[in-house]
Amino acid sequence: MYFIFFGPPGSGKGTQAKLLSDKLKITHLSTGDILRAKIKDSDKLSLKLNSILSSGNLVSDEIVNETVSESILSDKCKKGFILDGYPRTTSQSNFLISLLKEHNIKLNLIIDFKLEISLMEKRILERSKIEKRSDDNIEIIKNRFKKYILQTQPLANIYKEKFSNIFSELDASEDIKNIHNQIEKLVKNAQI
């Protein structure tokens, strides 16, 4: 089972990926989580990553591609994965598509979470009270959203055409349970 979740910051792709991965016992591959874990290493790379994530800019394709390919080819992804926050750029997408082809991995479902910016900001600011992520403040949210609109949304639109038979859009403004139920239905109907 191989899934990709697209969506702007705060659209709930991480929340839903976690719920689904727990249910299906497949790996939730969040590049954001992986990068935040790397920051804790306190080495030269972690300082660089910290400054990029805190500004809401994107980490280099090279670093992210290497990290993702290591995970995808590891045993933990043998049963499947949900990619959350990857690919985000054309270069990442090209890398992923050729990696999957090379290893004969066929995507089963791609979900694009749709959410308007006001709700996105509300959710992220709410989360900032509890989680204290360095990029969860109003200035940085705007930059993260800008990056999404410029780089990732066009990519999702390409996937919508290229993988039209496995691509679905979801109204991410609904409640968590409702969205999870919709995703379960999509999974049930997916050709796996």
Tell me: does residue 28 bind ligand AP5 (CB under 6 A): no
Per DSSP, helices labelled H in the chain are: 13-24, 31-39, 44-55, 61-72, 90-102, 117-131, 138-147, 153-162, 176-189
| CA dist., res. 52 & res. 48, Å (int) | 6
Residue 26 is encoded by which pair of tokens? 């497949």
| Listed ranges 7-15, 69-77, 101-109, 162-170: which one lies at the site for ligand AP5 (CB under 6 A) | 7-15
The Cα 81–Cα 108 span in angstroms is 10
Among 26, 29, 64, 82, binds ligand AP5 (CB under 6 A): 64
Could you say whether residue 20 binds ligand AP5 (CB under 6 A)?
Answer: no
Q: Which residue is nearest to ligand AP5 (CB)?
A: 32
Q: Which DSSP symbol is given to 107?
A: -
User: Of 91 and 108, which CB lies nearer to ligand AP5 in the complex structure?
Assistant: 91
Nearer to ligand AP5, 166 or 183 (CB): 183
Query: Should residue 65 be labelled a site residue for ligand AP5 when binding is judged by CB under 6 A?
Result: no
Cβ(107)–Cβ(53) below 8 Å: no
Q: Which residues bind ligand AP5 (CB under 6 A)?
A: 7, 9-15, 31-32, 35, 52-53, 56-59, 64, 85-86, 88, 92, 123-124, 127, 135, 144, 175-176, 179
